[in-house]
Amino acid sequence: MSNTSQTTSPANARTLLLPYTLGLVIAMAIVQIVIAVTGGEVTILAEILTAVVALGIVIWLWRNLRTLKRVRFGVAIVHVIAFVTVTMSFNLHAVIQTVALRFGDVPPMPEHSIIFGSWFGATIAMSALWGLGLLIHLLGAVLGRGWED
């Protein structure tokens, strides 16, 4: 840890992160729509589409890393945006589907199958494991005072 401040000029976080966030929200909305119209289960198609979104995140991060390093906590913020957007989209979909099963006019299906069926990995497991990785990343970013080398 150094006490010196960043020597390069700071980047415009809004110009950099807003298009990333909006693109990610749109991409995950598409994934959730595909899940909804293909039977409401997390299938191999949903997993492939989510992997494509993850690849897009990696490519975006790689292309913008130099600029992100001029934003305090920039890489950590990108990680948080990705985590919240992806996990929220799956969790919100599962909540809506559970409410629809309980109160709506959808085909009968045991409510517990959402949590213990195909949705387990996309909701509970992904949130827990990715959340642990995010926590470690954030601790490292805090220890580095927001600047990542």
Output the CA–CA distances (angstroms, integers) from residue 58 to 37, 38, 62, 63, 105, in the order listed: 27, 27, 6, 9, 40
Section 71-98 average pLDDT: 92
Residue 118 lies in a domain: yes
Residue 103 lies in domain? 13-143
Query: Into how many domains does the chain fold?
Result: 1
Residue 43 lies in a domain: yes
pTM: predicted TM-score of the whole model, two decimal places = 0.81
Instruction: Tell me the C-alpha distance between 18 and 35, whole Å.
Output: 26
Residue 148 lies in a domain: no
pLDDT in tens, 23-68: 999 999 999 999 999 988 899 999 999 999 999 999 999 999 999 9
